[in-house]
Structure 1
């Protein structure tokens, strides 16, 4: 909830839920605003059902305050609050962009930390064409009948056909395997 005191130009940003009813908003208003600025002579409010409720009309009538409604999407009615809203948007936008950068840097640092930890157990192996290698597969990648609980999860040896990347090789697999022939 954004409240601007027209006399002092002081803006108050009161955190609240969109689902609060008029009585809760009134409590927030009195707890956060009235204690600082007193009871206002006029209030300019958007045409929101929370503020247009019978509760507000009755409450302000008893206090001797008139309620002036602004038109939705017509900032000329209450330009001062609209300018404050734009300033708040800019402030939040700059805060979120700097927060986004900070989170991104932390993610990069954590990824580097995870990579360093994972690389401790990796071995760089270099093979040539024609070398024989063993492959490790998940149970669903083995051809039917080749995998069991007590059988090895590796199979081979298989001949290396070509080197595809720095640590990737194309292996000569039998036709009953349902996997790509390129392994890292």
Structure 2
């Protein structure tokens, strides 16, 4: 029986059903690595118990917090746009909204048209560094280039495997689908 979210063709005729493109996976991993780096920085700040000038530590903590927040915001924005507008089959809008503690009407404020366009361009192979860095403030030009290079088959130093969302038929899964972000 055909899946109504896919169209009239059976799922077996959709080889990318439930798969997330490698460039998008690389984008998501870039954000998660940035969050992790900011968290590591926060954990590494020494907070002595004696009296002293705390300004350098407070400034470092605030910078690291900003880094985590920017990457988290970009991560949520990219995932929201992808799940809501791009991935096939599309997840239920209610589930996407609920996962973010928002309403279905509030979901569209979780990302901009620029974010959606940049994600589409990345997946389609037409993204530029400017596309990505203007849509995602936490990406450096160097990191954007390494993500774009995945589409071109260039060595990037980023190891990427397909992500498979829950609900994907077992026949569509690969052995690399169990990878963690």
TM-score, normalization by structure 2: 0.21
Between Structure 1 and Structure 2, the one with more strand by share is 1
Higher relative contact order (Cα pairs below 8 Å, separated by 6+ residues): 2
TM-score, normalization by structure 1: 0.21
Between Structure 1 and Structure 2, the one with more helix by share is 2
